[in-house]
Amino acid sequence: MVKHLWNVASQKDSLWLKWVNIYRLKGRSVWEIDNDNNASWVWNKLLSLRETVRPLIRHCLGNGQATNVWHDTWCDGGPLDKFVTRRQVFNAGFLNEDTVDKLSTNRHL
């Protein structure tokens, strides 16, 4: 189950993950969606593992193109979504799907 969660979080390319992105995530991160009582047991089990797995995941920043500013753990404090809400991100003129390279290119970092 943890391997499946890792594949969803790291956006691996597979038919199943394309389906997950379209029908379950709908453009959001696996870290920010709510549990769905109408979803399958497997999907809810996957989501229940997030809080156990998330502290163990670190991103190698590289060029920052594959690292989400808000939901990925790329700095020491953990994912920034622990400190700011989606509303605050939007009000500051950023997007929920911004990557580290976009912010650093635009001189925000």
Q: So what's the pLDDT on residue 103? A: 76
Residue 109 — pLDDT band, cuts 50, 70, 90?
Answer: low
CA 12 – CA 106 distance, rounded (Å): 27
pTM over 0.75: no
CA 90 – CA 50 distance, rounded (Å): 24
Q: Where are the domains of the chain?
A: 1-56, 59-108
Which stretch of DSSP H or E encloses residue 101?
helix 100-105
Task: Classify the C-alpha dihedral 103-81-45-51 as positive or negative.
Answer: positive
Span 29-57, pLDDT tens digits: 888 888 888 889 999 898 998 888 877 77
Span 60-101, pLDDT tens digits: 677 777 778 888 877 777 788 888 888 898 888 888 888 888
